[in-house]
Structure 1
């Protein structure tokens, strides 16, 4: 395998407030939890996991002109991520509250400055990385109308520059709001689409994972359906289908597991790995992520 060219990741930078619950959430009363505060955001997490694989990576995003934004960027740079992150006045750095209970999580989010990520900033950032070979987009950027132009421009600019492209579908609820037809039109002819089981059902209906992948491969050249503890399935337009089981580990916190999975998949695939080997690497990193608290790799 070869060392991948630089990966550009476009999307959200957030502060995560993670509460690992001691038991089921008790509405209207108290529930014990272990609480931690740190860096989050699907794009930022994926970039950090890519950097941990010793692959050059640039994150394109936006934070507020506040202490939280400065801390988030400093964390990413310390992790080895090159940051092309715009500072936005008048909006705070985005924050998400994550309630984690076993292998389930519930998120309450304020996207903040992420909503102001602009097409002009994306163009400027891409112009500054002539060694880029691949662009990975967090679909949160597409799913909100205020940042959609930046997401669409990122994919168009990548095509203009001859980069390969991938998109992580992000979250089932906002996908339902925008509708499957609209989303699939935005990501048509990308090289790789990553969806979890819920997102696959929104976009392709209640089929089995291989059938969902085949349906979505009419839009994306390759599709990976992430199924949590049930593993993952890869489908491409040659009709090739392969699957990988999940690694069995004790679950501490599932926050960031999909982002770690994406980083493992991308770095292996871009280095020339077979689909089977890429899935294996992805499930390795996903297992590592769920075995620790927090969304980022630990030093």
Structure 2
């Protein structure tokens, strides 16, 4: 895969993205970590956070996008907002002087990544923040929620309000299931009750296994359609599956690309999917756009498109 993201075109209306803004400390390891010793790596400090990454990739496709989030009153928070603004994201980001901006240490090796997380000011995101941001975006067409906001009790109210407010305003909605370990902690039944009847639920293979059981993506996607109107299961190098309540089932293979760093690949995938689907694309075209952006993301270090 060569070149940058393909513009989505004028059909995609404003997307409001709700969720985390963090600093990523990305270490691309030369080998498996040597416990108690040293492992060579390429290390980079960069902007991260599932919601912030998705917003950045949407902006790279020329989709009008507003990010609703929270940062600390520190240099890191100012830098994160400046980065996103520079990429074309409208930031409805609240600053909290008494909390640090979130930080994630990402260890990337052998096509996989492990994350160590301090959510920091992201825990301060509130329902009032969401309402204020939506009041300021009368042109919003779709709301996308990173489930990290739901998976922590401190920020859950903001996530639940985001989905409720979107419904009240007639926006379509999507949720990215975020991460398997916290999903296990809250339990599939609780999570699915929070996101019931969203227009689009995205989950990777591990997350889908938590939510639906089994290991086969088609069966998982179909099993989740009673809870969400449309379900996409991301399978990494094996491609992706779309299933919906109308009985549509689509499988699209992944693009072949040399993998450098998978950090943010799912966020880029989500942005491609949303840009196409909100713009009126059919499932096949939406999955193909998603795969295109995912391929761009894994070929570079870090979770964001090139500025």
The question of 1:76 aligning with 2:94 is answered: no
Provide, for residues 88-140 of structure 1, a one-character-per-residue CA deviation record: whole Å limited to 9, x for no partner: 12110000000000211000000000000000111011100000000000000
Q: Distance in 1 between matches of 2:301 and 2:214?
A: 32
Q: Distance in 2 between matches of 1:210 and 1:2?
A: 32
Deviation at 1:11, TM superposition (A): 0.0
Provide, for residues 41-81 of structure 1, a one-character-per-residue CA deviation record: whole Å limited to 9, x for no partner: 00000000000000100000000011000000000000000
Normalising by structure 1, what TM-score?
0.99
Deviation at 1:2, TM superposition (A): 5.3
Q: Distance in 2 between matches of 1:4 and 1:104?
A: 32
The question of 1:135 aligning with 2:143 is answered: yes
Q: Distance in 2 between matches of 1:54 and 1:82?
A: 12
Q: Distance in 1 between matches of 2:280 and 2:130?
A: 27
The question of 1:277 aligning with 2:285 is answered: yes
The question of 1:112 aligning with 2:123 is answered: no
Which runs of structure 2 are paired with 1:182-197 in the superposition (5 Å)?
A: 182-197=190-205
Q: Distance in 1 between matches of 2:124 and 2:97?
A: 10
Equivalent pair of 1:2/1:272 in contact (CA under 8 Å):
no
Q: Which runs of 5+ in 1 are unaligned?
A: none
Q: Distance in 1 between matches of 2:193 and 2:146?
A: 16
Picking from 265, 276, 283, the partner of 2:273 is: 265
Equivalent pair of 1:102/1:252 in contact (CA under 8 Å):
no
User: Which residue in the other structure is 2:50 paired with?
Assistant: 42
User: SS at 2:287's partner residue?
Assistant: helix
Equivalent pair of 1:8/1:58 in contact (CA under 8 Å):
yes
User: SS at 1:136's partner residue?
Assistant: strand
Q: Kindly report structure 1 stretches of 4+ aligned residues shifted beyond 3 Å.
A: none
User: SS at 1:287's partner residue?
Assistant: helix
User: Which residue in the other structure is 2:230 paired with?
Assistant: 222
Q: Distance in 1 between matches of 2:195 and 2:207?
A: 14
The question of 1:256 aligning with 2:264 is answered: yes
The question of 1:242 aligning with 2:250 is answered: yes
Q: Distance in 1 between matches of 2:65 and 2:298?
A: 23
Which runs of structure 2 are paired with 1:83-162 in the superposition (5 Å)?
A: 83-162=91-170
Provide, for residues 126-161 of structure 1, a one-character-per-residue CA deviation record: whole Å limited to 9, x for no partner: 100000000000000000000000000000000000
Normalising by structure 2, what TM-score?
0.96
Q: Which runs of 5+ in 2 are unaligned?
A: 1-8
Deviation at 1:207, TM superposition (A): 4.3
The question of 1:32 aligning with 2:40 is answered: yes
Deviation at 1:239, TM superposition (A): 1.4
Two-structure CA RMSD over aligned residues (Å)? 0.8
Task: Give the count of matched residue pairs.
Answer: 299
User: SS at 2:137's partner residue?
Assistant: coil
